Amino acid sequence: MIPAHNEQDRIGKAIRSLDEQISKPDLTIVIADNCTDRTALAAQSAGADVFVSVGNEHGRSGALNQVLDLLLPQLRDDDAILIMDADSFLAPEF
pLDDT digits (tens, 9 = 90+) for 4-50: 999 999 999 999 999 999 989 999 999 999 999 999 999 999 999 99
pLDDT digits (tens, 9 = 90+) for 79-88: 999 999 998 8
Nearest to 49 by CA among 34, 76, 27: 27
pLDDT of res. 94: 80
Q: How confident is the model at residue 58 (pLDDT cuts 50, 70, 90)?
A: very high
pLDDT of 92 above 90: no
Q: Residue 49 pairs with which residues in a beta bridge?
A: 29
18, 25 Cβ separation under 8 angstroms? yes
Q: pTM here?
A: 0.93
Q: What's the angle, vertex CA 87, arms to CA 68 and CA 48, rounded to 5?
A: 50
How far is it, in rounded angstroms, from Cα 25 to Cα 23? 7
